[in-house]
Amino acid sequence: MDFISVLIIILGIAVLAVLLWCSMKFKEILLAFGRIEVRENAYREKLDKKGNVSATAEQKVSYDRKKLEENREEYNKRYSFYVVASQLISLFPLLGIFGTVLGLVTSDLADIDSLVAGLSQALWTTFWGLVCAIILKAVDAILPGKLVNDIDARFDTVDSAIERLSLETIIKEAQ
């Protein structure tokens, strides 16, 4: 096996390891949303104008903003690793093409054995570049890519709920 093929395989394993590590960390961040949401049960009794007791029970949801920001900070740290690994996937076909060109350029066109060896290197580097790119792109789409979308959706949901609760508090205080 030639140098470029070995480089492609080693780099592919490294990128796969980073993607799997990011997936584990993103899963932890997604699970942390359960600790951010705080549910409070409220039971109130009050007298109406006729002197009757009216009872209300409600469940109020609030969010621990400190934990939310810690979770967001952790996500931002891990996301940068994910972006780098995700961007490196596009290098694998290019490395395969580089190996193809290198295999053809370094072969002696007058010597059939040298030409066959160059073609062999060219095809193997293209093969390994494409195999790594396909596998890594599939892993990226299934694991960390989906988790990133889920986390972004959760942050949007929590942020809009906090904004809505803040507006409700402001309106109540103004009345």
Cα–Cα dist 120/104, whole Å:
9
pLDDT band at 74 (very low <50, low <70, confident <90, very high): very high
47-57 pLDDT, tens digit per residue, is: 667 767 666 65
Its pTM stands at 0.76
Whole-Å CA distances, 15 to 4, 42, 74, 82, 165? 16, 50, 20, 9, 42
Residue 101 identity (one-letter amino acid): V
31-49 pLDDT, tens digit per residue, is: 888 777 655 555 566 666 7
pLDDT band at 138 (very low <50, low <70, confident <90, very high): very high
Contact 118, 103 (CB under 8 A): yes
Where exactly are the structural domains of the chain? 3-37+64-164
Higher-confidence position of 96 and 46: 96
Residue 147 has what pLDDT? 94
Cα–Cα dist 102/126, whole Å:
11
Mean pLDDT over all residues of the chain?
A: 85
Examine the pLDDT at 18 and tell me if it is beyond 80.
Answer: yes
Residue 47 has what pLDDT? 64
